[in-house]
Amino acid sequence: MKRVLVTGAAGFLGSHICERFLNENFKVLGMDNFITGSTNNVAILSKHQNFEFIEHDVSNFIKVEGEIDYILHFASPASPIDYLKIPIQTLKVGSLGTHNLLGLAKAKKAVILVASTSEVYGDPLVHPQKENYFGNVNPIGPRGVYDEAKRFQEAMTMAYHTFHGVETRIVRIFNTYGPRMRLNDGRVLPAFIGQALRGEDLTIFGDGMQTRSFCYVDDLINGIFKLLFSNYNFPVNIGNPNEITINDFAKEILKLTKSDQKIIYKPLPENDPLKRKPDIELANTILNWKPKIHREEGLKLTYDYFCSLSKEQLYKKDHQNFKSYNKF
């Protein structure tokens, strides 16, 4: 059996990645420090006999015994509410963490896939965004700690490929949703559903004419799986190009949740992108991939998951591990 190391295994995407590989009959080693991950996700994965877990911060030296065939680096805070509270850790996991994992991939002769993001495009001046667009990013703005960590991660990954010959893959992930998202992570979809479930008004930042494109998690994981087993070393967009304004999206959530709350408006955060839509021609061409799950279906599955959460989880405002990391 092939063995896979997945960092960020306790997170939303990391746990789904682990589950996919377990279902494909791989041995999976999960790694996470629980700064934003959930012990519940690890508990789900631990039911599989081929899953093992190490609690570790990948920004520190990584030692793993035995062979590793594939590494998937998904460790990172991934939403503004996270990386604005723990900016140093966000920069470290994208730089030091990536360096450590690339070194491990080199030593183990493993294929490594790193999770980049549509945030490398910043507030884009090109629409939709193709992989050859260099982006419009403010390196010292509030979102710069995440944007530049991911841009550095891509540069470091390509350097290890060109200089050391490491087999690398880079996926640029666009807005993704589904079960196991944190309701309090600050992203628009869980924020809207959480507000609806708590009987609160839905909050839109800006005028609501900004757009997003939402990809259901199963579609994303399929794309990542295909990319890992391809021979393509350069960045690839994986996302759903079905674009919608935040105003229209809020109305969809109100209809889904059968809520009669109002929509209220607050100022747009600094450097918040106004347009976000992936060009997925490259993924379609080299991976024969495109999303299959319609937003209506995916939202229903996600809403059902959120409805299953406890009252404590529904009203939880902050993550338990943030404070312990503020000293670093």
Is 216 one of the annotated active-site residues of the chain? no
Active-site position among 70, 83, 121, 146: 146
Length of the chain: 328
Residues serving a catalytic function are 146
